[in-house]
Amino acid sequence: MEEAGERSNHCENTSDCEEDRYSDNDFETSKLGTKDYWEEVYQKELETFKDIGDVGEIWFGEESMNRVLGWMETAKIPENAAILDIGTGNGAFLVELAKHGFKNLTGVDYSPASVELARNVLQTEGLTDITVKEVDFLNCDRELKEFDVCIDKGTFDAISLNPNNSKEAKKLYVQALRDALKDDGFFSITSCNWTKEQLLQRFSEGFEFVQELPTPKFQFGGKTGNSVTALIFKRLH
């Protein structure tokens, strides 16, 4: 069975044939790929947080955060490493990173409501030294740079669903990621829309595959698969 909370409500993987599974074909576009959709989502979550203190959905559940944190510990990522949370949402992962001792944290999101929500959540936790910026990662003109680790939990998925030329958006994402990372910097991606093979193809230029993190498996029709893919890459020189 699928682990509770592991698959996000915002996943829209429409690849159900073997040919699609190992290709980089675009999915059908969706409102989940639009800024308006996420601004509405985070505006509601912001209002809820102000009313009752609920931070909202944790993307892919707490297990996804623990998985990446476990890798960071194993990889001996130093506490002063410059870490970027791409598409920070409610800032929940920034909170967990800070609780695990990381001190040089930045979160970005293109939704103003998300940024306000994340700042409110961090302030409530007493974490006032974490940077949260309203930034469109695809069009940041190299504003983001010199990071040791970049983390993505679902942002690339959403970009892939953008109705306005998702193919170009994915190319911009890869370039923005290269610009943001230092040489030999690490990239952690968690996806529910793309398989390991597809992500290896997408990030084949300029990145080296490091490892796959274990995720829940399911069985259907005699075949075994993963509902979520979590990979680590390293930026090449």
Q: What are the tens digits of pLDDT across the range 27-63?
A: 677 898 999 999 999 999 999 999 999 888 876 788 9
Closest to 158 measured CA to CA, from 121, 111, 205, 102:
111
Handedness of CA 52, 102, 192, 62 (dihedral sign): negative
Q: What are the tens digits of pLDDT across the range 203-225?
A: 999 999 999 999 987 655 555 65
Any bridge partners for residue 224, and if so which?
A: 219
CA–CA separation, 133 vs 140, rounded Å?
11
Q: What are the tens digits of pLDDT across the range 102-126?
A: 999 999 999 999 999 999 999 999 9
What dotted CATH number matches 31-216+224-235? 3.40.50.150
Edge-to-edge order in the sheet of strand 181-191: 131-134, 104-109, 82-86, 147-153, 181-191, 229-235, 207-212
- Rounded to two decimals, the pTM is 0.88
Cα of 166 vs its chain's centroid, Å: 17
How high does pLDDT run on average in the chain? Answer: 88
